[in-house]
Structure 1
Amino acid sequence: MLTAAFDALALILDPSRLVFMLLGVGVGLVVGVIPGLGGVVGMSLLLPFVYGMDPHAAIAMLIGMAAVIATSDTFPSILIGVPGSAGSQATILDGYPMAQQGQAGRALSAAFSASLVGGLIGALVLFAILPIARPLVLAFQSPHLFMFTVLGLCFVGLLSGKYPFRGILATLLGMMIAMLGSAPTTVTFRYVGDSLYLMDGIPLAILAMGLFALPEILDLLADNRAVSRVKTLSSGWKEGIKDTVRNRWLVLRSSALGVTIGAIPGLGGSVVDWLSYGQAVQSAKDKTRFGQGDVRGVIAPESSNNAKEGGSLIPTMLFGIPGSGTTAVLLGGLILLGIQPGPSMLTSELSITLTIVWTLALANVFGALACFALSRPISRLSTVPASKFAPFLLVIMLVGAYQNTQQWGDLIAFGVIGLIGWLFKAYDWPRAPVLIGFVLAPSIERYLTISSSRYGWSWLMDPLVILIGIIAVAVLIAGIRAKQKGLGGAS
């Protein structure tokens, strides 16, 4: 395996292939910086160009793009409070307040260094686990996946601020929004009336931008001020790296969680950052700073968000089961190149598999270095008055919203959800639980239906189900106790 790994590295470092990886890194940087696009859009942009290419070069370009988005999407999340992609939503909770306090440099530096470590850990785990991945992935059945989604819901107590009951209601609202459209286990349509647009449900990107982006932009315009409330940026670039080193165990825990969740199809990047943020709050002795500019709230989701890329490639390559939306498009790229995902990825296509591993590691290094190099000029955006950049950003968000289904319903949904998000912010209701309920509702319904039809109720006695249930109850109790002590998490 080591000999094959070094042979694959030699293939990647060939200048004719290395340039394609750097091209993918460049596309990933641009796509990540623009709010509302994300890995699926970036992968879709590159996919038409891979036909007829050398497979190693094509894979290097696609993986290079996907790996860097998880780093570059930090820019809009921290600087303007807009999620760059689905995986950078939790970063807003503490990264954006740090930018408002003039600590954008420190927040970005901590995010990039944590992302680099998380990405490298994801690549390392992917390489180490390949020989034993098949039995591990197959060990998770529908009851276990159902319990993982329940565990995700239990973190709502840690993300509901001072009002846990409001957090529960917000979660239910998110679940109700997720129920619009077709049911995940049947062909019936729910709560759509005569609307053709609602039959496919509300896109996640529109919900995320509406809840977090539009309210912030409207408030900035109303106040006519910049994101940062101070005139100059802090010189905390070195401090951000030191923060990552000081919180190395948090980085390792979050990276391990990211790899694990990434390897479970159906969970993926939309929830891993929330789970990581929740475990960071739960494990912290001092929870008072979370949601107000705690650097740990940046480090945890960013390290897990990058590490999950390595985990999501495990089911994609070995079983043809995409671990995320990005890897779903990658799966199409592999088939387009004549590569059939499955056991052959560990035999006849081993060089392609190892090319993916090396590209994942190298792209994280190049991407993090590029983000560090660009962070100073880009971070100055946080000191620019909102009236100068908000109109451009609103246009970008409208275009990003419209490109989801290219129907006018996208713009209407964006406006309605933006109004809801603004009301939530104005009346101090937590917005994060809405997203968690929305993301997890389809999985809960699907896995519960499959589990009950396949196993009856005997699956409740499964040892792993019981273990995950105990952890979920412990997390829920910890959240309630934290509120009783006045140590609420972020809203």
Structure 2
Amino acid sequence: MFEIAIEALVTVLDPSRIGFMLLGISLGILVGLLPGLSGTVGMSLLLPFIFGMDPFTGMALLIGMVAVVHTADTFPSVLLGIPGSSGSQATIMDGHPLAKKGQATRALGAAFFCSMVGGIIGGIVLFLTIPIVRPIVLSFSSPELFMLSLLGLSMVGLLSGKSPMKGIISGLLGLALGSIGAAPAVAEYRYTSDFIYLFNGIPFAVVALGLFAFPVMIEMLSDNRSVSKGNKIVSGGLLTGIKDAIRNKWLVLKSAILGSVVGFIPGLGGSVVDWLSYGFAQKTVKNNHFGSGDIRGVIAPESANNAKEGGALIPTLMFGIPGSGTTAILLGGLTLMGLQAGPNMLTSGLPVTLSIIWTLVIANIFGVLLCLLLTRPISRISTIPANKLVPFLFIILLIGSFQSTKSWGDILFFVLIGLLGLVMHSLDWPRPPFLIGFVLSLSAERYLWISMDRYEFAWLTHPIVIVIGALIVVFLFGGYFVKRISQAYENNKGVDV
């Protein structure tokens, strides 16, 4: 296998294929920079051009884009407080407050370095799991997938700050909004009021942009300021951010491994992995100030983001089961180039599989280097006055929303959800739980219905279900008790004896 890996590396390093990889990287950075677009959109645009290409060249182009979209989407998340894609939501929590403090380059430096490390770890995980992945993937049936959805929903409690009840209500609102449209278990449409646009539910991009981007723009206009309140970018912040990442190397490693593991579980993937990593770090990192500009709140989700792409390729290549939206498009690309996902990718198609791994690793390194070179000029966006920046952003966001279904309903619901996000922001209600509830609503309902239909209540005794259930209990109550103990310790320490 190692001999084939070396041959695949030589093939990938062919100048013509490196050229296509760099083209994919450039397009991926562009897609990541524009809020509302995603790797799925970018991959869809590339599909017509790979028809007739040899598999190695076509994969160099596609994987080049996949590898860097979740690196470049950090720019709008940190600088503007707008999620560049579904995988960059949690980065906003601490990345944008750092930008407001004039530390945009520090946050970006840490994010890009962690993205590179995470991408490399994701590629290594993909390589190491090839011989053993089949029994692992096949061990997850609907009950386990339902429990994993609940595990994602348990992040609601971790991300609610000092108001857990507000967080729970916010999560329930997200679940309710996510249930609009076609029911996953029965042939009926819910809460559509015969509005055809709602038959397939509200697109994720519309919800994410409205919930986070709209309030930021209104706040900037009302304060009549730039993103960076000090109108400055800290000099040397890029190197400082990289040093921060190295200083927290164990957090980077743990988050990257978590991202790889969650990535290879079909149905979860990019929309929740950053929240899982963020919530895990929030409860395990000592003396943190997550939510107010803690650099570790950037390091954790960014380490997991790119690592999950390696994990998502495992079920995609081995079983034809897409682990994320971008890998679903990748399956179509494989078909266009005459390949079939499945066991063949471990036999006759093994050279192509290994070339994908090499491309994933190399593209991450090239993409991060390019983003680091662009950091300082692009960071100056945070110093542009609101009255000049917001009109341009508003047009970009409208276009990003409209591309979801090409319907006027996209724009209408972008504004309506934006107003809801503005109210929640003004009343200090947490918005991340809302988004988590929305993302996991249909998958949780689907897996629960299948589990009850197939096993009735017997699925509750499955060993993996019990283990995941124990993790949920730890997430829900463990953090509460740790917080109470630490508060009691601090109070006792402050008493004079």
With the shorter chain as reference, the TM-score category is over 0.9
Which secondary structure state, in structure 1, belongs to the residue aligned with residue 154 of structure 2?
helix
AA paired with 1:272? V
2:429 paired residue number: 429
Alignment length (residue pairs): 486
Pairwise mapping of residues 281-300 of structure 1 onto structure 2 (< 5 A)? 281-287=282-288, 289-300=289-300
Give the CA deviation at 1:31: 0.2
Residue 482 (structure 1) shift: 6.1
Q: Measure how far apart 1:91 and its partner are.
A: 0.2
Structure 2 residue runs without a partner (length 5+): 488-497
Per-residue deviation at 1:187? 2.1
Alignment-derived partner of residue 183 in structure 1 = 183
Counterparts of 1:224-303 in structure 2, within 5 Å, are: 224-235=224-235, 236-287=237-288, 289-303=289-303
Question: Which amino acid letter does the alignment assign opposite residue 351 of structure 2?
Answer: S
1:14 aligns with 2:24: no
Spell out, residue by residue over 1:18-72, the C-alpha distance to the aligned partner (whole angstroms, 9 max, x if none).
1001100000000000001011011011111000112211111000001100100
State the match for 1:148 in structure 2.
148
Question: Deviation of residue 285 (structure 1)?
Answer: 1.8
Query: Is 1:135 matched with 2:126?
Result: no
**1:185 Cα deviation (Å)?**
2.0
- Corresponding residue for residue 355 of structure 1: 355
CA distance in 2, matches of 1:68, 1:186: 38
1:101-140, Cα deviation, whole Å (9 max, x unpaired) = 0110110000000000000000011011111111111111
Q: Distance in 2 between matches of 1:56 and 1:468?
A: 39
Does the CA contact (< 8 Å) of 1:266 and 1:443 recur in 2? yes
CA distance in 2, matches of 1:483, 1:146: 29
Which aligned runs of 4 or more in structure 1 are off by greater than 6 angstroms?
Answer: none
Letter in 1 for 2:238: W
1:119-169 CA distance string (max 9 Å, x none): 000001101111111111111111111111111111211101221100000
Return 5+ residue gaps in structure 1 as ranges.
Answer: none
Q: Distance in 2 between matches of 1:355 and 1:59?
A: 8
Shift of 1:201: 0.3
SS at match of 1:290: coil
Partner of 1:228, secondary structure, is: coil
Q: Distance in 2 between matches of 1:155 and 1:70?
A: 21
Amino acid at match of 1:75: F
What amino acid is aligned across from residue 223 of structure 1 in structure 2? D
TM-score (structure 2 length as normaliser): 0.96
Equivalent-residue separation in structure 1 for 2:484 and 2:166 (angstroms): 15
CA distance in 2, matches of 1:451, 1:321: 19
Cα deviation, 1:403-425, whole Å, max 9, x if unaligned, reads 10001100000000000000000
> Partner residue of 1:346?
346
**In 1, are the aligned partners of 2:231 and 2:382 still within 8 Å (CA)?**
no
One-letter amino acid of the structure 2 residue matched with residue 251 of structure 1? V
Q: Which amino acid aligns with 2:211?
A: L
Show CA shifts across 1:435-456 (max 9, x none).
0001111111111111111112
The offset of 1:238, in angstroms, is 1.3
User: Per-residue CA shift, 1:329-357, capped at 9, x if unaligned?
Assistant: 11111111110000000001111101110
Question: What does residue range 166-205 of structure 1 map to in structure 2 within 5 Å?
Answer: 166-205=166-205
TM-score (norm 1): 0.97
Partner amino acid, structure 2, of 1:104 = A
Structure 1 stretch 477-486 or stretch 450-459: which is displaced more?
A: 477-486
Q: Secondary structure at the match of 1:293?
A: coil
Corresponding residue for residue 494 of structure 2: none
Aligned to 1:55: 55
Q: Is the 8 A contact 1:273 1:305 kept in 2?
A: yes
**Which residue is equivalent to 1:442?**
442
Distance 2:31 2:432 in 1: 23
The 10-residue stretch of structure 1 (380-389 or 269-278) with the greater mean CA deviation from structure 2: 380-389
Q: Indicate the residue corresponding to 2:110 in structure 1.
A: 110
1:473 aligns with 2:478: no
Give distance in 1, aligned partners of 2:217 and 2:483.
30
Structure 2 counterpart SS, 1:131 = coil
SS across alignment from 1:285: coil
CA RMSD of aligned residues (A): 1.1
Aligned equivalents of 2:123, 2:414: Cα separation in 1: 36
Amino acid at match of 1:143: P
- Taking the aligned partners of 2:467 and 2:340, their CA distance within structure 1 comes to 36
Alignment of 1:310-459 (within 5 A): 310-459=310-459
